[in-house]
Structure 1
Amino acid sequence: MFKVKFIPENTVVIAKLGETLFDAARKAGIFLDAPCNGLGSCGKCKLKVLKGSVNFRKSHHITESELAQGFVLACNSKINGDITVEVPAIQTSALSGMKVEDLAGTKDQQIIDTVINLAAENHILFNSPMQKAYMELDLPSLDDCISDWDRIKRHLLKNISYSEALCRLPILKKIPHVLRENDFHATVTYFAENSERIRVINIEPDDTSDRLYGAAIDVGTTSVAAFLVDLYNGKIIAKASAGNAQIKYGADVINRIIHATKKNGLQELTHAIIKETINPLLKKMRQETHISKDDISVMVASGNTTMMHLMLGVYPDYLRKEPYIPAFLSSEYLKAADLGLEAYSESLLYILPSVSSYVGGDITAGILASGLWSEDQNILFMDLGTNGEIVFGNKDFLLTCACSAGPAFEGGEISSGMRAAPGAIENVRIDRKTFEPTIDTIDNQLPLGLCGSGIIDAIAEMFRAGIIDSRGRLNRNLKTRRIRFDEYGIGEYVFAFRGEYYIPKDITITEIDLENFIRAKGAVYAAVAVLLNSMGMDYSGIDKIYIAGGIGTNISMNNSITIGLFPDLPVEKFKYLGNSSLMGSYLTLRSTDARKKAEDIASHMTYLELSTDSSYMGEFISACFLPHTEIERFPTVKDPRKII
C-alpha cells in the first residue's frame, strides 16, 4: 500500500500497487477532466509527477517536452510507490469555472421576454399549480368540534374553486401544533393535482402568503443551469450554473451508462448530479436571495433521457442496447426529498417528458420555448451540446432524430479543447498572408484552451487561409512557425505559445482533433439531411433554423456554414435561442398550461432512428469533409480563400 498526495489540494489517499493515478484521484475526490472515462483516448487527464514515479505507457497525448516536465496521463499510469502529483489549474477550473448559458445579459433578457410573449400569444396562461392561502379559522368549540384537518378543508373548499383536498401524513403531524401556535391563523401551500383536487403540502403558523418560490433546472450532460423563480410574478430572482459533476465518469452518455453498470456506479452517478451539482446550485441561489430551503415548494427539471434516468437512480443500460428501450419517458410529480434534493421536505419535482432513448425532455422543453409547435413555417431546430438532437416541423407535424456527435462541440476529444470557462478561446481570426492568429478569450483571461465557438472559428479560418485542406490535413508546404509535426508525424497548428502568454502549455489543434471535429459536424449535417429526405424535402424547404444548446452564444453562423456544420442558407434564416431547455423548464414551472402543452408536444413528436436508416452512413461519410464532398451544396464555400 502506498501514499498518493495530490497538490495543491494536499489530499492524501492510500493506493494499492498497480492501481492507476486515475482511480486514486477519484478515490480522493479530485476532479479530472476525462471525457473518455479513463480509456486513454482523450488525453485530458494529465497530472504532473512531483515526487516518486509511476509505470506508464507512452502516448501521443504526452509530448516529449511534457514528459520531461513530469507530465503523465493519470489513466495509464500505475502506482509503484509513494508519490506526489500536481493537478494542473486547467483541471481544477474545468468544472467550477464553467460558463453556462444562464440568460443574464441584456440580449438574454430579450430571449426571456420573447419566450414569455410567445407563450402568451399562444394562449398559455401563467397559472402555477402551486399556490398559498392565508387562513383565519374559527376557533373550535363544543358546538363546532370538527377535526383540525376538516376545519382546514372546510375553509379551503369554501374559498377556492376545488371540490376535494387531501394531505400526506407529515402535514397531519404538523397541523395541531401549527394551528395552536397562532390562534388558528396559518398559511397553507397547496398543489392543484387536477381541476377538482388539491393537495396541501405545507402549513406554517405565520402569514407567509407573499413568499412562494420554485426552481427551474436544465440537467445537461456537460453542464447544469438553474433559475430560482418568484411564482407570484414570474421574476427570476437568482440563477446559477456549473459543470455536471458526472463528467468525471465520462463526457458522453454512453460512458456514463457503462459506468452505471459497475459496482456502485449508478449510486455514484446519482450522487454526482444531486449532491455535487444541483444541491450546491440551489444553495447558492438561496444564499443570494436570503430564503430558506423550506421556501422552495416546486421544481421542474429537463434533460436528456439518460440524465433523467441517472438523476432518479433508474438503471439505464437498456437505453444503449437495441431496441433502445428506456425505463420511463415521463412521470408524475415526484417528492423532491426522495431524491435528496435540498428543498422543503414535501416539495414536488416535475420531469419534462422525453420522446425516446436519445431525444429527451430537454428537447421537449426547447420546442415548447421556441414556439415551433405553433408555427406555420417549416422550422429546423438544432440542439448542439454533448449530443446532437434535431427537430423539423411546424404546428402540423414534428419529426425528430438524434446523432452521436460526441463532446467535440464543448471541447471534448480536442487536445486543447475545454468547456466555455474564463480563459477559453471563443473567437479566432487568421491573417491570410502571415498565417498568424488573433484570439479572444472569455473574460479576457490568459488563454487556457479552445471552447466550441472557438474551435469552429479556428477550423473555418484555417480552411479559408489554406492551412488545412478539405480533409482537415495541414498544408506541409507553408512556411510558418505555427505549423509543426511530432515524432509520430501528426501535425498541429499553434494558436498560443506557452512562452508568449506564460501559460502551462501551447494551445494547438492537431490533425487528430480536426478529424474528431469533422466527424462530429458530419454527424449533425447527415442527421439533418436524412430527416429532410424522409419527408421528401431538401434544404430549400427550410424557412427558419433555430440553434440551441451549449455550443455558445458566440457561434458564428457564417463559419459554421463554411465548415459544413449548418446547411448553406442565408444567415438571416438562423436564430440563436440560448438555453432553450432551461427556458422550457421555466415556462413549465410557471404554468399548468405550459406543462400540458409540453406533454402534448412529446406525445406528438415522431422519432426517426438513424441507426436503422440505410442512407445515414452514406450521408455521414459525404459530410466528413470541409464543407462536404458534394461542394455544390455549399455554393458560398466553393473558393474558401474568397470567403470573409
Structure 2
Amino acid sequence: MKRAQIKIINLGLTLLAEQGQTLGKVLSQADIPVRFECGQKGVCGKCQVKIISGSLSPPDRHEKYFLEFLGLDPSVTRLACLARITQDLEIEIPEESLLQPVKILDKGITTTFPLRPSFRQCFITLDKEKVTSSPAINEAIAREINFPNLVFSLETLNQLGEAVRETPQKLQVTIFQNKEICSIESDSTPSPLLGVAIDLGTTTVVGELINLENGETLAVASGLNQQLRFGSDVVARLYEATSSEARKKSLQRAAGRTINSLLNKLTKRPGISRENIMEVVVAGNTVMNHLLLGLPAHTLARLPFAPVFQALPELNSSELGLNISPWGKVYVAPNIQSFIGGDISAGLLACRLFEKSGRHLYLDLGTNGEIIINDHGELWATSTAAGPAFEGVGLSSGMMATTGAIYQIKIKDVGSSLEVKTIGRGKPRGICGTGFVDLLSIALRQKWIRDNGRITNRQNKIEVRPQVGLGQEDIRKLQMALAAIKTGVKLLMSKLKLDYSELDTIYLAGAFGTELNIHHAMDIGLLPQIDPAKVVFIGNASLAGARCLLLNYPLRKKLTAWVKKIKFLSLAQEKEFQDTFLKSLNLEPFPQKGKKGKYI
C-alpha cells in the first residue's frame, strides 16, 4: 500500500499515512484533538479541514450534500471523517474544528462524614523479645498493631523478611481496611497517604487529590476525556465498543490515559509523588464504568439494556494500568440500573438524599437525563434519552462550554438587540446549553417562535450574532430533548401520585445548572414550574460523592445497600409514554396551575 505525507501547517506536524485511509482515522490515530462529535459518522460537520495543497478523494454523494448544506466549497474545505487520502497533502485544521479547553465544574455540594479511609499507616518497633514470644514474625506484627486477623501476601512477607534482618527495627506498616497488610518498610521517612476522587464524565473529567490522613484537599485538576475522538456521546462510544474487541480495548486504553493524565496534573507540586496515591475512587456513568474496566458493553447497547455489574469490590490499580502506588486500589461507585450509573449514586450520597424525609426531586440534565424522587424514604429512578442537544452537539451554532461560547443571553426591551456573555469574554463562536435555554425563553416571550416551536420570521432563523443563532431544525432537536426530560418527570411523578406543590426540593446536579437561569428553564419546560426557592444547585455532586467514598470506606457498603432498594421505572414500558412525550413537545411551562392554585 502506497504511503502519503500529511502536513498540518498550523500545528507544525507531519504524519505518514496509507493511501485509501480516511483523513479522520489518521488524525485520530495521531491523537490530534479534532471535533469528531458524531464518532466519524459524517453527520455533525464539525471536523472541517482546509486544503492548502494536494487533494483528497472526490466527495461522495453524502459529503457533497453536507458541504452544500453548510455552504462550503469542496475544493477548499472537506470533512476529515469522510475524505480519503490519495496523495501527499498540506492542510490546516481550523480552531473551530479542534477541541478547546472546556469550562469544567470542579466544585460540588459540601457534605461531611467521619474520616475512615481505606488505608492507614502504623509505626511500630519490633524487638527480639516480641519476635521470640510469637509463633511467627507476622504474628508479632499483627499482635503489635492489635489486629489479630491481618492478611499478609507473599510480597509483604518478603518485605517483612528483609525488614527485620536486625532487631530492634522501626517499621512503617500500611494497612488496607484493617484486614490486609499492603507494605512494610523499615527506616523510611514517613510520607502522607494520598487518594484521588474522580468524576469520570463522557466529555470531561475532574480529579481531587486528598490527604487520607486528615481529609485535606491538596490539588484539583480537570481535562477532556480522551475518548472524545470516538464520539461525543455515550451512544457513539457504545457503537464503537460493540463494533470489535480491538475498538473496545482502544476505548479502555483511552479511559486509562485520561485518568493517568489527570494524575500527572494533580502531582505536579514538589514533594507529591504518585507512588503515595493509595486509592482512586471513580464516579462515572454506566457506560464510562464499563469502558474503563474493559467490560462487554453490548448488554447496554441493546436488550436487555442492563449493566453487567451493579457493585464491585475494590480492584488492584495494576489491573487498570493506573500509575499510582504498586499496592493501590480502585473503587468504582455502584451503578443503579440501566443507564443510571455511579455518577448518580455518588451524587445522591453527596446530597444525602437517601437519608432525607419529605419529598425531593433529583435531576441530572445531561445527554442521558437521570431523574430520582425520594418520597418519604421510598426512592424511584428513571432515565430518559435527552440526547446531546443541550450540550451543543448536532446544532448549527452549538458548541461545548469552551472559550467563545455564549452562555448567557438577555434582552432589555421589545425590539432591542440581544445582549450576550461568552466564556472567556471572547468573540462569540457559538452557543452552549445555558445560552440555548435563555434564547428559547426570550424567543417565546418576543413571539419569535410559537409554542409549537415554529419560527415566525421569513428567514426561518433567529440570529444572535452573524452566523450564530437558531434554525428551525435546531429548535426541533431542542424540543425533543426537552420533551424527553419533561416526560420522565411527569411519568415518575404520576407513578408516585405526587402533586408538584408537595415537592420540598429540586436538586439540580451537573455543570449545566451552574449558569442556568431558573425562570427561563421553567418558561420552556426544562424544570417543573414550582417555587424557584426550592431549586438547589449542587454542582459537581458526582465528584463530591466520590470524595465521601474515598474518605469513608464503610459508606461503600451502605451506598450499595441503598442503591439496591431504589425502584426503577422503565419509561418505554409505560402506556402513557408516547402520548405524554408528544404533548410535551410544546415549549411551555409545566405543570399548569389549576383553579385552586395547585400545580397539576
TM-score when scaled to structure 1? 0.86
Q: Counterparts in 2 of 1:346-425, with a 5 A limit?
A: 346-425=327-406
Give the distance between the partners of 1:493 and 1:169, measured in 2 at CA. Answer: 69
Quick check: 1:366–1:581 contact (8 Å CA) kept in 2? yes
Equivalent in the alignment of 1:445:
426
Name which of structure 1's ranges 13-22 and 434-443 shifts more when overlaid on structure 2: 13-22
Q: Distance in 1 between matches of 2:450 and 2:50?
A: 36
Q: What is the identity, as a one-letter code, of the residue corresponding to 1:255? A: A
Question: Equivalent residues in 2 for 1:515-534 (5 A)?
Answer: 515-534=476-495
Q: Which of 260, 273, 279 is matched with 1:298 structurally? A: 279
CA displacement at 1:206 relative to structure 2: 4.0
Aligned AA for 1:211? Answer: P
1:100 corresponds to 2:100: no
Amino acid at match of 2:38: C
Separation in 1 of the partners of 2:464 and 2:585?
24
Q: Secondary structure at the match of 1:38?
A: coil
* Amino acid aligned to 2:463: V
Structure 2 residue runs without a partner (length 5+): 596-600
* Alignment correspondent of 1:337: 318
- Residues 176 and 602 (structure 1 numbering): CA distance in 2 closer, same or farther, change over 3 Å? same
Query: How many angstroms does 1:9 deviate by?
Result: 2.9
2:64 equivalent in structure 1: 58
Corresponding residue of 1:494 = 463
Deviations 1:42-88 (A, max 9, x none): 22222222222232222456666543792222223233332222222
How many residue pairs get aligned? The number is 588
Rate the CA distance shift 1:492–1:271 in 2: closer, same or farther, 3 A.
farther
Partner of 2:82: 76
Q: After superposition, where does 1:304-315 map in structure 2 within 5 Å? A: 304-315=285-296
1:467 and 2:464 matched: no
Q: Which residue of 2 aligns with 1:39?
A: 41
Query: Deviation string for 1:428-472 (max 9, x for gaps)?
Result: 113544452211112323333222112211222222222222233
SS in 1 for 2:556: helix
Q: Measured at CA, do residues 143 and 48 of structure 1 come closer, stay the same or move farther in structure 2, by a change above 3 Å?
A: same
Q: Secondary structure of 2:81's partner?
A: helix
- How many angstroms apart in 2 are the aligned matches of 1:180 and 1:143? 14
Q: Tell me the residue number matched to 2:145.
A: 156
Task: Describe the superposition over 1:464-494 as per-residue Cα deviations: whole angstroms up to 9, x where unpaired.
Answer: 22222223332225xxxxxx4xxxxxx4333
1:241-640 alignment runs, 5 A limit:
241-263=222-244, 264-275=246-257, 277-288=258-269, 290-434=271-415, 436-477=417-458, 484=459, 491-497=460-466, 506-627=467-588, 632=592
1:438, 1:79 → 2: CA distance?
44
Q: How far is the alpha carbon of 1:305 from its aligned partner?
A: 1.2
User: Alpha carbons of 1:611 and 1:208: their partners in 2 closer, same or farther (altered >3 Å)?
Assistant: farther
**Does the alignment pair 1:90 with 2:92?**
no
Note if contact 2:529-2:591 (Cα within 8 Å) is conserved in structure 1: no
Mapped contact 1:298–1:349 kept (Cα < 8 A): yes
Out of 104, 129, 136, the position equivalent to 2:125 is 136
For 2:45, the aligned partner's letter is: G
- Aligned residue for 1:474, secondary structure, equals coil
CA distance in 2, matches of 1:511, 1:173: 70
Aligned CA distance change for structure 1 residues 254 and 361 (closer, same or farther; 3 Å): same
* 8 Å Cα contact 2:131/2:140 also seen in 1: no
Q: After superposition, what is the alpha-carbon deviation per residue over 1:581-606, rounded to whole angstroms, capped at 9, x for unaligned?
A: 11111011111342233112211111
Q: Tell me the secondary structure at the aligned position of residue 184 of structure 2.
A: strand
CA displacement at 1:545 relative to structure 2: 0.5
Determine the C-alpha separation between the residues in 1 that align with 2:465 and 2:166.
67
Structure 1 distance, partners of 2:498, 2:375, is 14
User: CA 1:182–1:232 in structure 2 vs 1: closer, same or farther (change >3 Å)?
Assistant: farther
Report the Cα distance in structure 1 between the residues aligned to 2:489 and 2:547, rounded to whole angstroms.
Answer: 28
TM-score of the two chains, using structure 2 as the length reference: 0.92
Identity %: 30
Do 1:240 and 1:284's aligned partners in 2 also have CA atoms closer than 8 Å? yes
Contact 1:546 1:575 in 2 (8 A): yes
Q: 2: CA distance between counterparts of 1:464 and 1:445? A: 28
The CA deviation at 1:182 is 9.7
Q: 1:175 to 1:60 in 2, by over 3 A?
A: same
Identify which range, 334-343 or 31-40, moves more after superposition.
Answer: 31-40
SS of 2:335's partner is coil
Asked if the contact 1:366/1:584 (under 8 Å) is kept, the reply is yes
The answer to whether the 8 A contact 2:225-2:255 is kept is yes
